């Protein structure tokens, strides 16, 4: 143990105690500027790719002949490509950027080994590229969120190990011994991805389990990828941003331990609920339903903590770019989790099972909750990494409303469309094609949402490139652009 500690202290020299608090923060930021910017660059690139693919997918549902002359862009390939680019491309890059930055900042020390993070980031994005290329080539596997061909998996795994080890080392090297909820969730996400990805790859591809058990593992993985990896990163972001950007401690923070463990516990089995009515033993799907309902416990804690903390500084929400996104994310999280709980019940799945309903919930959770939280965090990080102001805050304003409206329309279109579709399928004797045509207007609504969201994402990319490339003003050249932070005040509540 001593040897390991010595090793750590040689890798991470102790720099605390010298200079002011703001100077220390600047040292931390500069120690990982290039690496975190790399992750953000990757996330913006994949966000654009994913919004384009999402647009294509939604248009193909309205007019099936659209782009049908390209064999590599059929619906069966564009659909998994969209979801994988969204999760592994956009959300993982953005989430890991936020989490890496939060861990380093809360650690209170400049972090070494940024080379590891840079190489691992490059490898991760290369792996996502290989995976998407494989999907377009036709090498995709049939399991949801595991569609990347098996030859992309080792790259993905190795790259994530690199990023994960960097995060663990950064946590290990922290100066403050107490820990904050953001750090728990960041580490949980890292550990859980390694766990679920290994289990899924081994049990489905390397040493395939027998028969329907592969589908059980795939459903488990699909639920956990969202619940145990993406969601914890987003919780880490929200827990961090509320006190940092609002100056408001998390109200009811005492209950966060319950929220953390119950979220990990219930979320790890909630994905099995999608197996209801499938050729599985009744108890497997029932465990999933009970676990999904169990999410009610962490949901109520999160709701009380986040909403009361945000409403305590209500007037500041709209005048702070990052907190706006967090607010949208919190509302989307509550709605999406309530829909997850209701949507897991057998009686509801009777109606919604073969429709877009589940996709709508997933989209709202991934993009409305996690994506918006990460975007807010990136807007908080960028000025600090680059020591620049947002060049055009109206563009960020426009982006917020476009993305917000787009996600809202997509979610409404998919959820109500899915519900209407399922009810018609169950309750009428009309032909399937007529039922599909009757739900046309919902598909239009979804496509419209994808168009608007794509504009918002484009505005985000412009905003990002602008702040990267704009020359520094006199004010931005000084170290005093960002004011030193006051101490967080704790009032009894």
Only one residue has tokens 């979610």, namely 411
Please give the Cα distance from 159 to 198 (Å, whole number).
Answer: 13
**Is there binding between residue 487 and another protein (CB under 8 A)?**
yes
Q: Which is nearer to another protein, 28 or 366 (CB)?
A: 28
Sign of the CA dihedral 94, 100, 106, 112? Answer: negative
Q: Which is nearer to another protein, 106 or 145 (CB)?
A: 106
Residue 261 engages another protein in binding (rule: CB under 8 A): no
Given the rule CB under 8 A, which of 6-14, 80-88, 245-253, 414-422 is the region that contacts another protein?
245-253
Residue closer to another protein (CB basis): 82 or 302: 302
Q: Which stretch binds another protein (CB under 8 A): 186-194, 204-212, 281-289, 330-338?
A: 281-289
Nearer to another protein, 282 or 430 (CB): 282
347 is a contact residue toward another protein (CB under 8 A)? no
First to last CA, the chain: 42
Single out the residue of 12, 92, 148, 180 in contact with another protein (rule: CB under 8 A).
180
CB of 366 to another protein, least distance (A): 24
The least distance separating another protein from the CB of residue 388, rounded to whole angstroms, comes to 8
Q: Which is nearer to another protein, 78 or 310 (CB)?
A: 310
Task: For the beta carbon of residue 479, count every other beta carbon within 10 angstroms.
Answer: 9
The piece of 122-130, 191-199, 362-370, 385-393 that touches another protein (CB under 8 A) is: 385-393
Pairs from 436-442 (Cβ < 8 Å, separation ≥ 24): 440/62, 442/413, 442/414, 442/416, 442/417, 442/418
Query: Shortest gap between Cβ of 419 and another protein (angstroms)?
Result: 23
The runs of H, that is alpha helices, within 63-113 are: 75-84, 92-107
Binding-residue pattern over the window 387 to 406 for another protein, x denoting contact by CB under 8 A: --xxx-xx-xx---------
Residue 338's Cβ-side half-sphere holds a number of Cα atoms within 13 Å equal to 9
Nearest Cα to 196, choosing from 136, 270, 287, 301?
Answer: 270
**DSSP per-residue codes, 306-348:** HHHHHHHTHHHHTTSHHHHHHHHHHHHHHHHHHHHHHHHSHHH
With a CB cutoff of 8 Å and minimum separation 6, the contacts of 156 are 88, 124, 127, 128, 131, 148, 197
| Closer residue to another protein, CB minimum distance, 49 or 246 | 246
Pick 59 or 188: Cβ nearer another protein = 188
Query: Could you say whether residue 428 binds another protein (CB under 8 A)?
Result: no
Residue range at the interface with another protein (CB under 8 A); choices 31-39, 131-139, 289-297, 329-337:
289-297
Q: What CA–CA distances, in Å, run from 223 to 234, 312, 488?
A: 16, 33, 36
Among 116, 122, 165, 297, binds another protein (CB under 8 A): 297
Site for another protein in 315-344 (CB under 8 A): 319-323
CA–CA distance, 477 with 156 (Å, rounded to integer):
39
**Residue 212 near residue 279 (C-beta atoms within 8 A):** yes
Residue 486 binds another protein (CB under 8 A): yes
173 binds another protein (CB under 8 A): no
Q: Which residue among 44, 246, 331, 339 contacts another protein (CB under 8 A)? A: 246
| Cα–Cα nearest to 271, from 197, 217, 210, 200 | 217
- Tell me which residues touch another protein (CB under 8 A): 21, 25, 105-106, 108, 176, 178-181, 240, 243-258, 282-283, 286, 289-290, 293-294, 296-297, 299-301, 304-305, 308, 319-323, 379-380, 383, 389-391, 393-394, 396-397, 481-490, 492
């Amino acid at each position: 143990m001593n040897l390991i500690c010595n090793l750590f202290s040689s890798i991470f020299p102790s720099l605390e105690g010298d200079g002011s608090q703001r100077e220390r923060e600047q040292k931390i930021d500069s120690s990982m500027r290039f690496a975190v910017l790399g992750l953000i660059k990757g996330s913006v690139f994949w966000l654009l790719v994913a919004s384009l693919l999402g647009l294509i997918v939604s248009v193909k549902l309205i007019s099936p002949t659209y782009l049908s002359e390209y064999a590599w862009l059929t619906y069966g390939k564009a659909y998994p490509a969209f979801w994988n680019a969204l999760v592994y491309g956009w959300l993982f890059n953005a989430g890991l950027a936020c989490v890496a930055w939060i861990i380093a900042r809360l650690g209170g020390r400049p972090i070494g080994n940024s080379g590891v993070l840079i190489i691992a980031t490059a490898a991760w994005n290369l792996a996502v590229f290989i995976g998407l290329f494989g999907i377009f080539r036709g090498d995709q596997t049939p399991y949801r969120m595991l569609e990347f061909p098996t030859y992309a998996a080792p790259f993905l795994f190795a790259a994530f190990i690199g990023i994960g080890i960097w995060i663990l080392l950064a946590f290990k090297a922290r100066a403050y011994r107490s820990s904050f909820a953001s750090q728990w969730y960041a580490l949980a996400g890292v550990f859980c991805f390694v766990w679920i990805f290994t289990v899924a790859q081994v049990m489905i591809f390397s040493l395939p389990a027998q028969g329907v058990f592969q589908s059980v593992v795939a459903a488990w993985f699909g639920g956990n990828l969202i619940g145990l990896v993406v969601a914890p990163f987003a919780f880490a972001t929200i827990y961090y941003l509320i006190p940092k950007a609002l100056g408001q401690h998390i109200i009811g923070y005492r209950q966060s331990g319950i929220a953390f463990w119950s979220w990990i516990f219930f979320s790890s089995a909630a994905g099995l609920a999608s197996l209801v009515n499938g050729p599985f033993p009744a108890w497997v799907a029932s465990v999933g339903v009970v676990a999904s309902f169990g999410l009610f416990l962490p949901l109520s804690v999160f709701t009380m903590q986040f909403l009361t903390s945000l409403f305590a500084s209500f007037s500041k929400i709209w005048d702070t770019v990052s907190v706006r996104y967090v607010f949208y994310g919190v509302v989307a999280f509550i709605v999406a989790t309530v829909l997850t709980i209701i949507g897991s019940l057998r009686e509801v799945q009777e109606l919604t099972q073969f429709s877009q309903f589940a996709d709508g919930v997933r989209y709202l959770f991934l993009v409305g909750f996690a994506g918006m939280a990460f975007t807010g965090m990136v807007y908080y990080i960028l000025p600090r990494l680059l020591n620049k102001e947002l060049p055009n805050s109206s563009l960020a304003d426009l982006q917020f409303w476009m993305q917000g409206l787009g996600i809202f329309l997509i979610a409404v279109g998919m959820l109500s469309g899915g519900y209407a579709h399922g009810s018609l399928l169950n309750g009428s004797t009309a032909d399937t094609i007529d039922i599909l045509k009757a739900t046309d207007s919902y598909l239009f609504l979804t496509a419209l949402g994808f168009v608007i969201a794509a504009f918002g994402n484009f505005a985000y990319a412009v905003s990002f490139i602008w702040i990267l490339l704009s020359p520094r003003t006199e004010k931005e050249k000084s170290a005093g652009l960002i004011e030193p932070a006051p101490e967080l005040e704790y009032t009894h509540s």
